[in-house]
Amino acid sequence: MYEWELRTFIEYLYEIDVLYWEQQLKNAPYGRKIPISVGKNHFIIVMNRPEIQELKQLLSETSNRNKLLKSTDINYILNYN
């Protein structure tokens, strides 16, 4: 993916009218109601509101990134067989 494609996708993501899609598909039998067109080959993914928010946060340049764990941060007892 080129950088301009990513920028365009991010802009598109922020322009999605979540309330509109939730209202339009309120009687749909599945929980995900917000369609997102990805790429030029008519590939569509369907997400719910929390997933849209997470994707926006993930792609945001100014988001508070989650701190990456170091191996010493993981408190796990490893038992060898």
Domain ranges in the chain are: 3-59
Cβ pair 59, 10 in contact under 8 A = yes
Q: Which residue has the higher pLDDT, 45 or 75?
A: 45
Q: At what angle do helices 3-15 and 49-59 cross, to 10 degrees?
A: 140
Given a cut of 70, is residue 63 above it in pLDDT? no
Query: For every residue of 29-41, which 3-state class applies, written as one string?
Result: CCCCCEEEEECCC
What backbone torsions phi and psi does residue 26 show, to the nearest 5 degrees?
-65, -25
pLDDT of residue 14: 94
CB atoms within 10 A of CB 25: 15
> What pTM does this model have?
0.68
